[in-house]
Amino acid sequence: MYVLKGKTVFAGIAIGRVNVLKKERSNVRRYRVENTAEELERLKIALESTDKELEALYEKALKEVGESGAMIFDVHRMMLQDQDYTDSIENIIRGQEVNSEFAVAVTSDNFAEMFSAMDDEYMKARAADIKDISERLISVLKGESGAAEDSEEPVILAAEDLSPSETVQLDKSRILAFVTKYGSSNSHTAILARTMSIPALIGVDFSEEIDGVTAIVDGIRGEIIIEPDAETLAKYRTMQKEEAEKKKLLKEMKGKETVTKSGRKIRLYSNIGGTGDLPAVLENDAEGIGLFRSEFLYLEKEDYPTEEEQFAAYKTVAESMAGKLVVIRTLDIGADKQIDYFGLDKEDNPALGYRAIRICLDRPEVFRTQLRALLRASAYGNIGIMFPMIISVDEVRRSKKYIEEISAELKASGIACGDPEIGVMIETPASVMISEELAKEVDFFSIGTNDLTQYTLAIDRQNLKLDSINDTHHPAILRMIKMVVENGHKHNTWVGICGELGADPELTKTFVEMGIDELSVSPNFILPLRKAIRSLE
């Protein structure tokens, strides 16, 4: 077993036998022609037939991969009719009194070299197109069929390079993946691979010896594993199955409402750590963001992120979610999330120590910078601001006071600012017990079951030794959740769960029955949860 690296053109996993496409350039002989006028006529007819072939390929591609994928054959038709190209061929025939095949081959080499030498990546990629049309034209001149090789069983096709027409002519049901040595992600072959949704890698330096061996194309990591061992094969088969299941689910559940059979709507939101998670959020059709752990903006830096840096990140998320709710949690550091530049003292019990809202209320300059960034970003979408580790009404009132003050300041300076919903995390037993009072203060609750479980069961969430007694379904936790929902609803405060327990499929029914309004989970769990909720009464 060994691994070859490449660049992913289209992600996905394929397992199968490799078929190395041995493509020798059509053998072109040079010979003298007596009658160049006749030769030029032969070329003219061949050009017309090639054009017809390309037209047919366009129609085939249109049906299989749609307009954007088929367009390349229109481009090829234009290149074939290009005056410079045909002039060059005709001049060689006339000037050297040689056969058309040879004149086409020379023109092809000259033009391809010219394109390859260009700085522009797009133009560089056109070298492959010139070779492609020229090969086709030569085949027509020789009276050969332009069809590419095909194999019986579905294979991983490995080639030096694949021309667009070869790509589209291949029987899609027989190709598991493409692997090429050359080509660029801008080439039309790459574009076609993406449109055809076939895992594809380029820039893989393989040897012809891989012909016929079993391999795995891992388009996620950008590698091909040659002759995988049994364990690797089994691992990838499982991944492939999961991927297929996910794709099916995506198709089935995307765009559907998250609603029970009796019509109860549940907000299905996503947890994120930063803007890098947005593609997964959108791909999995999240209805909003229920927890943006803003501390990651601080963790990935060497110094405090500025107001502008934070504003840019919050604005990007708000805009990308296009009016859907984006709940951003204010800084939650301390405990397991330590940041050097904060200069915090070492503590005996950091989980019970100086952390989250306690730091923010103690260091107004840090809190104010974040709140200003959040309030400014709230003018660009639907932002909710959430405070972590709350244990008292006083903490909420003091935090809200900052928001009022900063909003007033911004408005007075003519800086746009929205009117965000305000919420708190319920992750301490204290906040559960005073949830009725807290509900009067805020628009929403989000239950952080990760910390709530650690503080309720007195089990350090970091301590692996205690994993076996860490009962996440403990009745104490479930009763607390129920209590929070009831207290929240008494005062029109909507209630969600953003801890890991929210994605536990064994509890989905229980949560819905308790009256939970929202579940915020990692992007991958959204569609399976939507499916589960839609099957509930």
Q: Please give the positions annotated as active site.
A: 188, 498
Is residue 334 within the footprint of Mg ion (CB under 5 A)?
no
Q: How far is the CB of 530 from ligand PEP (least distance, A)?
A: 20
How many residues lie near Mg ion (CB under 5 A)? 3
Classify the phi-psi angles of 458: left when phi > 0, otherwise alpha if psi is within -120 to 50, otherwise beta: left
Output Rg (C-alpha) for the chain, integer angstroms: 31
Classify the phi-psi angles of 178: left when phi > 0, otherwise alpha if psi is within -120 to 50, otherwise beta: beta
Q: Which stretch binds ligand PEP (CB under 6 A): 108-116, 128-136, 258-266, 444-452?
A: 444-452
Select the residue interacting with Mg ion from 90, 101, 443, 451 (CB under 5 A): 451
Q: How many CB atoms lie within 10 A of CB 342?
A: 15
Instruction: Give dist(CA 70, CA 63) in Å, integer.
Output: 9
Is residue 338 within the footprint of ligand PEP (CB under 6 A)?
no
Is residue 448 within the footprint of ligand PEP (CB under 6 A)?
yes
Among 146, 131, 178, 130, smallest CA distance to 46 is for 146
Name the β-bridge partners of 2.
226
Instruction: Give dist(CA 455, CA 459) in Å, integer.
Output: 7
Nearer to ligand PEP, 156 or 498 (CB): 498
CA angle 382, 386, 391 (to 5 degrees): 160
List binders of ligand PEP among 276-335 (CB under 6 A).
Answer: 291, 293, 332
Is residue 423 within the footprint of Mg ion (CB under 5 A)?
no
Is residue 470 within the footprint of ligand PEP (CB under 6 A)?
no
Q: Which stretch binds Mg ion (CB under 5 A): 86-94, 171-179, 196-204, 447-455?
A: 447-455
Nearer to Mg ion, 53 or 451 (CB): 451
Is residue 449 within the footprint of ligand PEP (CB under 6 A)?
yes
Instruction: Give dist(CA 534, CA 537) in Å, integer.
Output: 8
Is residue 355 within the footprint of ligand PEP (CB under 6 A)?
no
Q: Which stretch binds ligand PEP (CB under 6 A): 104-112, 124-132, 225-233, 442-450?
A: 442-450
Nearer to ligand PEP, 8 or 522 (CB): 522
Instruction: Give dist(CA 31, CA 351) in Å, integer.
Output: 85
Q: Which does 498 bind (CB under 5 to 8 A by kind): Mg ion, ligand PEP, none?
A: ligand PEP
SS3 of residue 178 by DSSP: strand
Report residue 338 as tokens: 């330590």
Count of CA atoms in the C-beta half-sphere (13 A) of 409: 13
Q: How far is the CB of 247 from ligand PEP (least distance, A)?
A: 29
Q: How far is the CB of 272 from ligand PEP (least distance, A)?
A: 11
Q: How far is the CB of 319 from ligand PEP (least distance, A)?
A: 24
Place of tokens 């050359």: 182
Helices (H) and strands (E) in the chain, counts: 19, 16
Q: Which stretch binds Mg ion (CB under 5 A): 14-22, 138-146, 147-155, 443-451?
A: 443-451
Q: Which stretch binds Mg ion (CB under 5 A): 15-23, 116-124, 130-138, 426-434?
A: 426-434
CB 148 within 8 A of CB 85: no
Nearer to ligand PEP, 161 or 451 (CB): 451
Does an H or E element contain 13, and which?
Answer: strand 13-20
Nearer to ligand PEP, 239 or 366 (CB): 366
Instruction: Give dist(CA 180, CA 10) in Å, integer.
Output: 13
Q: How far is the CB of 488 from Mg ion (least distance, A)?
A: 18
Is residue 39 within the footprint of Mg ion (CB under 5 A)?
no
Instruction: Give dist(CA 456, CA 478) in Å, integer.
Output: 11
Report residue 301 as tokens: 């830096």
Q: How far is the CB of 487 from ligand PEP (least distance, A)?
A: 18
Beta strands 518-521 and 13-20: pairing type? unpaired
How many residues lie near ligand PEP (CB under 6 A)? 10
Q: How far is the CB of 448 from ligand PEP (least distance, A)?
A: 3
Q: How far is the CB of 453 from ligand PEP (least distance, A)?
A: 8
Instruction: Give dist(CA 483, CA 14) in Å, integer.
Output: 49
Select the residue interacting with ligand PEP from 451, 504, 517, 518 (CB under 6 A): 451
Instruction: Give dist(CA 3, CA 6) in Å, integer.
Output: 10
Q: How far is the CB of 389 from ligand PEP (least distance, A)?
A: 8
The amino acid at residue 332 is D
List binders of ligand PEP among 484-513 (CB under 6 A).
Answer: 498-499
Is residue 169 within the footprint of ligand PEP (CB under 6 A)?
no
For residue 435, what are the CA distances in angstroms to 21, 267, 393, 445, 490? 67, 21, 9, 9, 10
Instruction: Give dist(CA 377, CA 354) in Å, integer.
Output: 28
Tell the burial category of 515 from Cβ atoms under 10 Å away from its Cβ (0-12, 13-18, 19+): middle
Q: Which stretch binds ligand PEP (CB under 6 A): 341-349, 371-379, 430-438, 446-454?
A: 446-454
Nearer to ligand PEP, 395 or 451 (CB): 451
Is residue 203 within the footprint of ligand PEP (CB under 6 A)?
no
In the complex, the residues that contact Mg ion under the rule CB under 5 A are: 427, 448, 451
- Residue numbers of the site for ligand PEP (CB under 6 A)? 291, 293, 332, 427, 448-451, 498-499
